[in-house]
Amino acid sequence: MNLNIYDFLMGVIISIVLLFFVLFYHIKLYKNHSFLKIWVAGTGMVILGFVLSLFASVPSFRPYAIMSSNLLLILGQGVYYISLKSFFEGNLKFSNYRSALFSFLLIYVSVFSDNTTLRMFSTSIVLLMFSAFVLRLLYSHRTAEIHRSISVLIITYWINTSFWIFRVLFTIMVLPSKPELSEFIVLLTDLSALLPSVLGSFGIILLTNQKLSSMLEKEKIKFSNIIDISPDLVVVTKLYDGKIFHANKKFIDKLGYRFEDIQNKSTLDLNIWNDNSARNLFLNALVECETLENYEAYLYTKETEPFLGSISSSKIVIDDEQYVISIIRDVSDLRETERKLIESEQKYKVIALSSASWEAWFNENGKLIWTNEMIKHIIGYSPNEATKLEDIFKDIVISDNLASLAKEYKYALSSRISGKNEFLINHKIFGERWILISWKKIYDSNNDFNGYRTSTIDITDQKKAELKASELASKLKIEKEIAEKNSLIDSMTGLANRRYLEQRIMYEYARMKRNWSNLSIIMIDVDFFKLYNDTYGHVQGDICLKTIAATLRSTVKRQTDLVARYGGEEFVVLLPETDKYSASILADNIKTNIENLEIEHMTSTISDYVTVSIGIATFTKDCNVSCEDLIQKADVALYQAKKIGRNSISHA
């Protein structure tokens, strides 16, 4: 078969030169994509194998040329697969070791076998396997964004796969009977091996560019989304003419425009800057510093309303052109607040300097940082002396008050509250003095705690007045208690008086009804006491009554019972939860104990000694007697005792 090998070779060489030029350009352009370098290495192997196959016509080089050519062609196809796997999956891990071992055996046969038919068959199988692997890889990663470029590779490898299938069938079915066609098949093999090198490289270039374009588009969308969701005003402009490339809704709304109003317009066209010189100042500062933070300038809305913008800007590159991304915050209100705060502080200092109280500022550690001149009057230290102390209150507050001061400070620090408290201090000149400290916490612009403002006055005179008032109040309280007690006690006998007796009767009567218990009243009258007074005198009569009162107190032993002087020579014993029998026993003991006193009574008609008549009234839960009539019942019984001859006991 006559072939113009020279013309064919020249065409291949020209294609190779152009191909390598394009590939190396892309390698330089996309330095981070190592798969391109791997693909170029595979292409080099295939082309070198093709060149070596041309030397097979020289008898002395034929075995080596065929061996080297087959090895390089197979390795080149394998490297193509590795390159594409690196591009799509980013790793070169192989887990199918059986396929690898089988491929290795076939490669060995393809390179070292002396049997032409076997060598061509095994070479075809190996190259067919690599083509199938590549096709499976391409189909598994075919997506809409790279559909066009990957289709070029798929068509290329389908042509390649079809040829290897043809070669396998030809080697088995035709070559044994027509060996003279082997040279033609070898030439077709070389052309088929070069097909991925030429068309495949073209497809790889398309694939790379298309995927990078897709990635760039995604990054642009991501970039736009980040800008759009920012809570601040964000705008991207060209560096030198200020034309707006992108702006978020916050920026457009703040300036009062619509999106279509700012398209293809510069910031100067929209009069966002006061004038061109204002933008030039900003631009010069940005060019000099590369990035700007909190650059403040007045910007203007569509209605020419100014606002003070704090601009943070940085230069970026988009499609080889320089842009500026700027984040803008409206700080008009903040600066106005700061201005008012400064004015307020100045006013406060004027007031504080002329105040009659000690006005001061302390930092978060309790160190004095500013004070007016009243400090000298309040604690005896000059402003210069006080500011040199680390914690002036620890030096002046008396030790007993230090724990309270520390507790107050710690609580105020944790709760962020204002407050006030009194402390006893050692005045540098006058000794112990009382002060009242009022404090308020101070915060900076970030709402961080920044210390305390205090106002302190001397309350020594007030505390002295309070102490005297307290002493007077205590004295009055004691006198009141004594008076109240005297109002309920009989002054001569020390027993309860009639007023207290009546209160207790009402209480015990209600308790008797509530608890369903008994209540007894014993009423006692000293027999012929008027004659006793006439005979022995009123002084001796008082002594007699006191003696009887003491006897009654010692005879009635229960804490719940009450002995009272009812009036004159009459006494009453109130007995809660006491039935008639128990009351009778106690009454008999009273009568006996008084007789045993043997107080002389010469004018008595019933005895030589003082005696008593006793009336007893006992009430139960179901009695119908009112509370006011209880004493009356006992008095009736007493009247009966007197009527039957005195020195006796009678029951109602």
Taking residues 117-122, report their average pLDDT.
72
Q: Which of 429, 464, 499 is the last residue of a domain?
A: 464
Is residue 269 predicted with pLDDT exceeding 60?
yes
My answer on whether 211 and 242 are in the same domain is no
DSSP state of 312: E
Banded pLDDT at 554 (limits 50, 70, 90)? very high
546 occurs within a structural domain: yes
Residue 302 forms part of a structural domain: yes
What are residue 360's phi and psi, to 5 degrees?
-150, 160
23 and 152 fall within a common domain? yes
DSSP string covering 523-570, please? EEEETTHHHHHHHH-HHHHHHHHHHHHHHHHHH---TT-EEEEEETTE
Q: Which helix (H) or strand (E) holds 103?
A: helix 97-112
Residue 509 lies in a domain: yes
Evaluate whether residue 624 is within a structural domain: yes
Q: What share of the chain has pLDDT > 70, as a percent?
A: 73
391 and 288, same domain (yes or no): no
Mean pLDDT, range 280-304, rounded to an integer? 84
The chain-wide mean pLDDT, for the chain, equals: 78
Higher pLDDT, 46 or 312: 312
Query: What residues pair up with 322 in beta bridges, in sequence order?
Result: 317
- Residue 113 — very low, low, confident or very high, per pLDDT cuts 50/70/90? low
- Give yes or no for residue 589 having a pLDDT over 90: yes
Q: Determine the average pLDDT of the residues in 499-506.
A: 89
Query: Which of 162, 180, 215 is the C-terminal boundary of a domain?
Result: 215
The residue among 207, 221, 232 whose CA lies nearest residue 84 is 207
CATH code, 565: 3.30.70.270
Same domain, 419 and 546: no
Q: How many CB atoms lie within 10 A of CB 405?
A: 16
Same domain, 294 and 367: no
Q: Compute the distance between CA of residue 649 and CA of residue 652 in angstroms, rounded to an integer.
A: 10
Query: Contact, 83 vs 39, CB < 8 A?
Result: yes
pLDDT at 212: 66
Residues 516 and 562 in one domain: yes
Quote the number of domains for the chain: 4
Pick the closest to residue 439 from 357, 382, 383 (CA basis): 357
- Note whether 449 and 521 are same-domain residues: no
pLDDT at 407: 60
Residues 389 and 454 in one domain: yes
| CA–CA gap between residue 83 and residue 215 (Å, rounded) | 20
Identify whether the C-beta of residue 339 lies closer than 8 Å to the C-beta of residue 327.
no
Q: What is the pLDDT of residues 197-256, one digit of tens each?
A: 666 666 777 777 776 666 666 666 666 666 777 778 888 888 878 888 888 888 888 888
Degrees, nearest 5: CA angle 193-195-199: 150
Average pLDDT over residues 476-494: 72
Q: Cα–Cα distances in Å, from 111 out to 63, 77, 101, 475? A: 10, 15, 15, 126
What CATH number does residue 248 fall under? Answer: 3.30.450.20
- Are 453 and 509 in a shared domain? no
Q: Does residue 324 sit within a domain?
A: yes
**Containing domain of residue 296, as a range?**
230-336
Same domain, 89 and 186: yes
Q: Could you tell me if 18 and 104 lie in one domain?
A: yes
Asked if residue 348 belongs to a domain, the reply is no
Please give the pLDDT value at position 3. Answer: 46
Q: Which of 100-104, 356-360, 470-474 has the lowest mean pLDDT?
A: 100-104
Domain edge (last residue) among 215, 246, 268: 215
Are residues 540 and 452 both part of a single domain? no
Cβ neighbours, 10 Å, residue 65: 19
Per the model's pLDDT, the better-predicted residue between 432 and 179 turns out to be 432
Please check whether residue 200 lies inside any domain of the structure: yes
